[in-house]
Amino acid sequence: MPGIIPSFANSLKQILHKSKSLIYPRFLPQRKQRRTIRELNFGFFFERAITEVFAIVKK
């Protein structure tokens, strides 16, 4: 029925993927990678803010 009703296609796809994830569990390095990228991003903005503060103080 997925061809007739498109909303069923998505749920059918999710059901099929769910059974595969139980057979092949994933290990999760993603959390550490996400945190590292986030830290690098905040570090960039922090460095930028410090540079602007020193530029204002120097004037």
Mean pLDDT of the chain: 66
Q: Residue 6 has what pLDDT?
A: 66
35: in domain: yes
The model's pTM: 0.28
1: in domain: no
pLDDT of residue 1 exceeding 60, the answer is no
Q: Residue 46 has what pLDDT?
A: 78
* Domain that includes residue 19, residue range: 6-58
22: in domain: yes
Buried b (16+ CB within 10 A) or exposed e, 30-52: eeeeeeeeeeeeeeeeeeeeeee
Contact 10/4 with Cβ under 8 angstroms? no
Q: Residue 25 has what pLDDT?
A: 62
Distance CA 39, CA 33 (A): 10
Q: What's the number of domains the chain is made of?
A: 1
15: in domain: yes
Q: Residue 55 has what pLDDT?
A: 79
Instruction: Give the mean pLDDT of 4-16.
Output: 66
